[in-house]
């Protein structure tokens, strides 16, 4: 009989570095991983067993795997296209850059295209490549369509939603909706009951309509909170005599009723706006997202978003308008770690705060209680970064992910 290489309680892998997780930094810490789980996290000098394998130092700082609630694609692949190969490539691209929990966002389209995309994305949730699906449409306000196809937007329809959720096979985790549409209240009731988080967005609602709807949406079965899709973008702007959805969203977030998505890439929002929201509502109510399109990780050029053409210049994605000129912003081109880096290095957000908003808070919104923290019992999703917050290694459920 051969001796086991380590005592039975010994982990498979021990990582050493600065451990950063929500609200905490351990300057010289260890993370012990056994199989798919983290079994111990703490200070190097408090490690419980000398029989452990030699700690590996990879990069300088260890973060929990990031969780992106709003992402349309990357590396040339686009989830709304519904092709398996492109969707896999997109999911993989974000994974190797540290996003171990990726929600695929679909855009407004006709029912057949949505069913195709839902079916393809559901396959990727089943094989572990995605954490869920976000329906960004079709129950949105044409007046606030952004880069989406206004001609396919429509009022809420319970039977259509049933068919969409069925095609998603239980993997649809959130849906963006405009609160002012006829039937929006019944839609929120239906989403709440099905464990799909209603996410207010692409909306022209007044403050009273938006507030009442967010309060209703905060009763959903998955998160117990509502969500707000890319706060400020694609919605009636704040005015002091017409405060609209922005005031409703901030108030709901302060009350613990809503989580606010921020596309904090320096393009969709100016840095002072991002800093203000963090100060007002705190990281437990902010989800940093990419809203990335297929151009993420690719050079400038022409790309697709659903049926629309997007032109990327200087890493800024814009829709081509009818005259062939760059128009509305058409999603982001960053990975979530790039958004975290910008928040820390440019906006001045504390790293623990940014990590909470890019991992812990989105995990809670999705109801993924074993993700979003470096803690004993959690899934071993770890991102090792260098001092510039560039990922140098990623582990997903304890397995090292290699760059393509």
10 Å CB burial of residue 301 (0-12, 13-18, 19+) is exposed
Given the complex with Zn ion, which of 229 and 352 has the nearer CB atom?
229
Binding of Zn ion by 149 (CB under 5 A): no
Least spacing, CB of residue 289 vs Zn ion, in Å:
8
SS3 readout for 172-230:
EEEEEECCCCCCHHHHHHHHHHHCCEEEECCECCCHHHHHHHHHHHCCCCCCCCEEECC
By beta carbon distance, the residue nearest Zn ion is 291
Binding of Zn ion by 291 (CB under 5 A): yes
Q: What angle do CA 302, 81, 104 make, to 5 degrees?
A: 100
Structure tokens at 321: 């308008």
Query: In the stretch 15-54, what mask flags binding to Zn ion with x, by CB under 5 A?
Result: ----------------------------------------
Binding of Zn ion by 113 (CB under 5 A): no
DSSP 164: H
Binding of Zn ion by 356 (CB under 5 A): no
- Write down the residue that tokens 């429509």 correspond to: 154
Given the complex with Zn ion, which of 63 and 200 has the nearer CB atom?
200
Given the complex with Zn ion, which of 291 and 338 has the nearer CB atom?
291
Given the complex with Zn ion, which of 29 and 101 has the nearer CB atom?
101
Binding of Zn ion by 261 (CB under 5 A): no
- Write down the residue that tokens 């990357």 correspond to: 74
Least spacing, CB of residue 72 vs Zn ion, in Å:
6
Given the complex with Zn ion, which of 56 and 151 has the nearer CB atom?
151
Least spacing, CB of residue 264 vs Zn ion, in Å:
14
Total chain residues near Zn ion (CB under 5 A): 4
Cα–Cα nearest to 400, from 11, 91, 60, 65: 65
* Nearest-10 Cα torsion for 229, 289, 381, 62: -140
Least spacing, CB of residue 230 vs Zn ion, in Å:
6
Both ends of the chain: CA-CA distance in Å?
40
Least spacing, CB of residue 263 vs Zn ion, in Å:
8
Least spacing, CB of residue 106 vs Zn ion, in Å:
9
Given the complex with Zn ion, which of 190 and 290 has the nearer CB atom?
290
DSSP 346: I
Tell me which residues touch Zn ion (CB under 5 A): 105, 136, 234, 291
């Amino acid at each position: 009989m051969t001796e086991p290489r380590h005592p039975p309680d010994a982990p498979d892998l021990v990582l050493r570095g600065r451990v950063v997780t929500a609200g905490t930094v351990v300057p010289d810490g260890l993370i012990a991983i056994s199989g798919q789980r983290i079994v111990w996290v703490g200070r190097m000098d408090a490690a419980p067993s000398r029989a452990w394998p030699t700690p590996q130092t990879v990069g300088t700082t260890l973060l929990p795997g990031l969780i992106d609630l709003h992402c349309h694609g990357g590396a040339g692949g686009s989830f709304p296209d519904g092709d398996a190969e492109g969707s896999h490539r997109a999911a993989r691209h974000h994974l190797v850059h540290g996003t171990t929990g990726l929600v695929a966002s679909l855009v407004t389209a006709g029912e057949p295209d949505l069913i195709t995309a839902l079916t393809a994305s559901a396959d990727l949730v089943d094989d572990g490549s995605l954490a869920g699906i976000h329906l960004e449409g079709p129950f949105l306000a044409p007046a606030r369509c952004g880069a989406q196809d206004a001609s396919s937007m429509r009022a809420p329809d319970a039977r259509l939603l049933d068919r969409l959720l069925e095609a998603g096979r239980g993997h649809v985790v959130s849906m963006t909706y405009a609160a002012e549409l006829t039937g929006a209240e019944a839609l929120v009731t239906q989403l709440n009951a099905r464990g799909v988080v209603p996410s207010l967005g692409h909306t022209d609602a007044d403050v009273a309509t938006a507030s009442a709807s967010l309060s209703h949406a905060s009763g959903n079965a998955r998160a117990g909170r509502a969500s707000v899709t890319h706060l400020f973008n694609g919605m009636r702007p704040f005015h002091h005599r017409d405060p609209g959805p922005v005031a409703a969203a901030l108030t709901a977030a302060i009350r613990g009723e809503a989580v606010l998505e921020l596309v904090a890439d320096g393009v969709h929002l100016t840095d002072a706006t991002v800093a203000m929201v963090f100060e007002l509502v705190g990281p437990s109510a902010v989800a940093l997202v990419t809203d990335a399109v297929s151009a993420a990780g690719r050079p400038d050029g022409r790309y697709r978003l659903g049926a629309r053409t997007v032109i990327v210049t200087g890493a800024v994605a814009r829709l081509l308008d009818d005259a062939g000129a760059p128009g509305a912003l058409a999603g982001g081109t960053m990975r979530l770690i790039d958004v975290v880096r910008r928040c820390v290095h440019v906006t001045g957000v504390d790293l623990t705060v940014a990590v909470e908003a890019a991992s812990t808070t989105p995990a809670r919104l999705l109801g993924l209680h074993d993700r979003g923290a470096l803690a004993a019992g959690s899934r071993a999703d770890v991102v090792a970064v260098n001092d510039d917050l560039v990922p140098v290694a990623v582990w997903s459920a304890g397995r090292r992910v290699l760059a393509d």
